[in-house]
């Protein structure tokens, strides 16, 4: 079976990636007319100290967060800031995500590639369902699948 300390570490890494992806989604959907109402959501989405700890990404995220206007500022000044700086700020944020976590890339997949990715995802879901069920696979096969299912095929 999977080592619990490794599982905990992987869960923490996945949680960080999910939180960063959420923050990027919030940032990408902001428009000047929505920024004042959603700026608090972006500030909250960047409260990731509990996940980043002493990792370099933590200080980079704090620097980016400090660049944002405060939600208490007037609506017009916040909108003006976002019009002038929003696109650059999102680019910097995406750059940190790519450099530090290798996530946040803009993928331009063809329909065929999207279909292959969907099939790959469905295959992984099926494997997970089989692992959760009382299937007839041996414990050795099950252990090997659990150890390699979501791990990269190349050394990090």
Q: Are residues 124 and 82 in the same domain?
A: no
pLDDT along the chain (156 residues), means of 10: 64 87 90 82 87 85 93 86 94 95 91 91 86 81 78 52
Q: Are residues 94 and 118 in the same domain?
A: no
pLDDT at position 150, please? 64
d(CA 84, CA 35): 13
Q: Are residues 32 and 69 in the same domain?
A: yes
Q: Are residues 13 and 80 in the same domain?
A: yes
Provide the token pair at 134: 């009382």
CB atoms within 10 A of CB 30: 19
pLDDT at position 9, please? 74
Residue 155 lies in a domain: no
Q: Are residues 95 and 117 in the same domain?
A: no
Residue 35 lies in a domain: yes
pLDDT at position 156, please? 43
Q: How far is CA 60 from CA 57, 67, 127, 147, in A?
A: 5, 11, 37, 32
Give the closest residue to 69 by CA, choosing from 84, 48, 59: 84
Please give the tally of structural domains in the chain: 2
pLDDT at position 11, please? 80
pLDDT at position 136, please? 82
- 18 lies in which domain range? 4-101
Q: Are residues 58 and 28 in the same domain?
A: yes
Residue 153 lies in a domain: no
Residue 94 lies in a domain: yes
């Amino acid at each position: 079976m999977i080592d619990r300390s490794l599982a905990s570490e992987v869960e923490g890494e996945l949680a960080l990636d999910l939180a960063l992806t959420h923050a990027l989604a919030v940032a990408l959907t902001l428009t000047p007319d929505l920024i004042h109402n959603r700026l608090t959501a972006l500030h909250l989405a960047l409260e990731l100290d509990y996940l980043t700890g002493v990792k370099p990404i933590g200080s980079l995220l704090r620097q980016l967060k400090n660049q944002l206007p405060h939600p208490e500022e007037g609506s017009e000044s916040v909108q003006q800031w976002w019009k002038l700086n929003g696109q650059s700020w999102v680019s910097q944020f995406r750059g940190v995500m790519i450099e530090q976590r290798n996530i946040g890339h803009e993928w331009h997949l063809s329909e065929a590639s999207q279909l292959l990715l969907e099939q790959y995802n469905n295959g992984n879901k099926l494997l997970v369902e089989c692992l959760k069920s009382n299937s007839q696979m041996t414990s050795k096969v099950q252990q090997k699948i659990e150890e390699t299912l979501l791990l990269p095929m190349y050394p990090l």
